[in-house]
Amino acid sequence: MDAKTMVPIAVIVSVVATAGAMYAIYSVDAGGATNQLRAEPQIAHVPKSFSGNFEGTHEIKKISSQGELEEIISASVMLDGYPYYGGDTEWTSGGPDEFSSIALDDALYLQSTRLEQSGAPTSSPDYSSTNVQVGDVDEPDYVKNDAKYVYIVLDKTLSIIDAYPAESAELVLKVALDIESKSIENMFLNGDRLVIFYDGQTDRDEIPEFGYEPRTYSVPATHALIVDVSDKKNPEILKDYAIDGYFRDARMIGDHAYFVTNTDVRYQDPAFPVILEDAVPVMTPEAYYFDTPDRLTAFNTITAIDIADGSIRSETYLMGYTGTFYVSEDHLYLAYLQDIVFDVLEDSPQDRFFGAVVPLLPKDLQEKIGEIRSRDGEAGWAEIANLLQDQYNRMDDEDRKDLFERIRDATEKYDSGIKEDAVRTIIHKISLDGQNTEYVARGIVPGMLLNQFSMDQDGDRFRIATTTETYTSRGSLEIANAVYVLDENMKTVGELENIAPDESIFSARFMGDRLYLVTFQQVDPFFVIDLSSDTPKILGELKIPGFSNYLHPYDEDHVIGIGRDTTNKDGWVRQLGIKIALFNVADVANPKVAADIVIGEDSTYSDALDDHKAFFFERGVLSIPITGFVSSLDGVSGSGAADDLWNGFYVFDLDEDGFVLKGKIVHSYLNQYEYIEIGGRTFYIGDVLYTLSEDRLKMNDFEDLGEINSVKLKGTGKFVEFVR
């Protein structure tokens, strides 16, 4: 046996303190420990209640006054231990930095919103509109259409095209909107009214306390214009609302538009958001906050507009900066990554010691340490250290080295669990009923969201898919994916965790009782997950090269995926061309690829990879915008040189047997340095397929793609100076 060696107690202290903790303290059940040093107890991670200088109830509370707002913000600042002077105010005259700014189940099977005008003459054709996530819940876009007209907002202009019949299509009007925004990309069409959103700013004057000279400053604002387009040649702005904050997203249900704006909070002289009509303040929304240890960084203002009468209602919530939201027909879900002050989350060395180290020690030593802890608390460390020193001195070098290695592994696992729980998504549920919005509940799940398709409501259940990424103390990245089911009160009632370890979610699509999930690292695992009960389970899995960025329903037994093909050589993954696949999920235990096709190479791009509104599938026809070098795309040379960019649309017939290239619709040839400002769109009216780019609107026969007409947008049209 090796000679015994005196081991400084600092060694174990150093091991325990190797990784900095980021989250709540944990309690540990070490009842499974034995007297054998090699016994490996389960290191359980149970989040404890928040502690520190802030005790939150997590209740929603109304902010009743300016003074109360200042107290709430001050308390939030004190959590960090230092003031934050951020905010959106931009001073335009005078004014030191000290002044603040004033302050949408089964419908998922419906792809693009296919409509027939009720009450319209029988001669009116059917048509498609924006590709949306939830049927009957419209999403904003830069183009909207009905059975006859197409409306486009682009480059601060509104263009109206008489598009049907296609043979006589023409640009009726091109009108500048009297705004300061550089671009407009979001609007709704409701009958003969448009709701147009754009980011701008409002100027405010304020005399500082005990001052005399007014100071002017600018505040970011989202404008919502209600425009009457019943007279296509003479549109009229009926309402011009300006809501403090940046535009986040919007939905339209029936005659009501709902949108969310974010306003950064100035921690010095904070103020409530303000709503203006025609530059005149008309409303300060009722404000609420949540009694939590989260950083209070932004006002999230939810505004509802009755498009028919132009009236408006609004409420604002002081919380984190919302980044993603999902809207069903009756609820809006605001989601964001939780931002908790470090001091509230900070774990102490003693918690790590008792949680990860002690369970690895001999049973008798565990009991002695437990007695000292119960009797003396932290003051008993000197006695504990002596016990540890004695234990190490009785061990030979090999056993001691083995113990320390297992302690390092245990503390790394412990710290990893803490860090995983530090990445959590908060979801706020708000009911929608016409202009009435009412806060319902708050939910929280581990991990972070990919996008809006990671969330879904089915009946009274809310489902969400997340990814957690954690760096260990040794610098390696651990990735885990999960699906959670929450009840009507946003309490977690079911979960499926540890899906595809070390891979990240690339796309998700909820369809009734199923979730289709794509993860990726080196291959594309396509999962079929059962959601018929509150306990999700994996029904089947398929691994193929490449990945899908977006999943789209074909029917109950098939799903379309669009993403990229990949190749794996010597452990290195290289992305290739645009890949479109049809997944057959009739046998849920054995999903398979019914057909796939690859377009171009790694430099080829489609807006449909990043924006579902660019994806079109209706009546068995699939269309996606494609931009790629002429040399990399087969049969598109036309008048373009090999190093020119071909910009247009690939159109396919698609059935259960696979893809048949119907044709390619070219819109323009660009040099490789030209920038395309907007993504392509496809829709149909009657038997005409319409494809839109920033250059033109093209009309082709739906069956054979024969060109019918084309309306050029750039540099053309009768230009009216302003619509007011």
Dump pLDDT digits (tens) for 245-273: 999 999 999 999 999 999 988 877 788 99
Structure tokens at 410: 């245990």
| DSSP conformational letter for 360 | G
Structure tokens at 63: 């902010």
* pLDDT, position 724: 55
* pLDDT, position 12: 38
* pLDDT, position 414: 78
Q: Does residue 193 surpass a pLDDT of 80?
A: yes
pLDDT band at residue 15 under the 50/70/90 scheme:
very low
Multiple choice CATH, 445-684, 2.40.128.630, 3.40.720.10, 2.102.10.10, 2.40.50.180: 2.40.128.630
Top pLDDT among 76 and 333 is at 333
What single string gives the DSSP state of each residue in 688-699?
Answer: EEEEE-SSEEEE
* pLDDT, position 571: 74
Give 318-374 pLDDT, tens digit per residue. 988 777 999 999 999 999 988 665 444 455 677 778 888 889 888 988 888 888 888
Q: Does residue 23 surpass a pLDDT of 50?
A: no
* pLDDT, position 340: 62
pLDDT band at residue 608 under the 50/70/90 scheme:
very high
Edge-to-edge strand ranges of the sheet holding 424-433: 324-327, 331-337, 424-433, 436-446
* pLDDT, position 604: 95
* pLDDT, position 347: 54
Structure tokens at 182: 């550089």
Single pTM value for the model: 0.81
Q: Does residue 287 surpass a pLDDT of 90?
A: yes
* pLDDT, position 41: 38
205-225 mean pLDDT: 83
* pLDDT, position 111: 39
Q: Using CA atoms, how far apart are residues 540 and 297, in angstroms rounded to an integer?
A: 42
Q: Does residue 507 surpass a pLDDT of 60?
A: yes
pLDDT band at residue 182 under the 50/70/90 scheme:
low
164, 278 contact by CB (below 8 A): no
Chain mean pLDDT for the chain: 82
Top pLDDT among 154 and 235 is at 235
Q: How far is CA 108 from CA 130, 319, 541, in A?
A: 14, 30, 22
408-429 mean pLDDT: 80
Return the top range by mean pLDDT from 104-108, 150-154, 422-426.
150-154
Give 465-504 pLDDT, tens digit per residue. 999 987 766 667 788 899 999 999 999 999 999 999 989 9
Q: Using CA atoms, how far apart are residues 53 and 289, in angstroms rounded to an integer?
A: 19
Return the exposure string of 263-290: e unless at least 16 CB atoms fall within 10 Å of the residue's CB, then b.
bbbbbbbbbbbbbbeeeeeebbbebbbb
Cβ partners under 8 Å of residue 495, min gap 6 = 482, 483, 484, 485, 536
Q: Does residue 14 surpass a pLDDT of 50?
A: no
Q: Does residue 613 surpass a pLDDT of 60?
A: yes
What single string gives the DSSP state of each residue in 215-236?
Answer: EEEEEEEEEEEEEE-SSTTS-E
Top pLDDT among 98 and 456 is at 456
Rounded-to-10 torsion of CA 170, 176, 177, 180: 140
Give 378-406 pLDDT, tens digit per residue. 668 888 888 989 889 988 999 989 999 99
pLDDT band at residue 79 under the 50/70/90 scheme:
low
* pLDDT, position 505: 96
Q: How far is CA 136 from CA 240, 431, 577, 671, 685, in A?
A: 26, 16, 34, 40, 19
Structure tokens at 283: 């409303």
In three-state secondary structure terms, 378 is: helix
Top pLDDT among 461 and 279 is at 461
* In the chain, % of residues over pLDDT 90: 54
* pLDDT, position 676: 73
For the beta carbon of residue 191, count every other beta carbon within 10 angstroms: 13
- Segments making up each domain of the chain, as ranges: 10-52+344-420, 445-684
The residue ranges of DSSP E strands in 140-284, in sequence order, are 143-145, 149-154, 157-162, 170-177, 186-190, 193-206, 215-228, 236-244, 246-253, 256-264, 275-277, 280-283
* pLDDT, position 173: 93
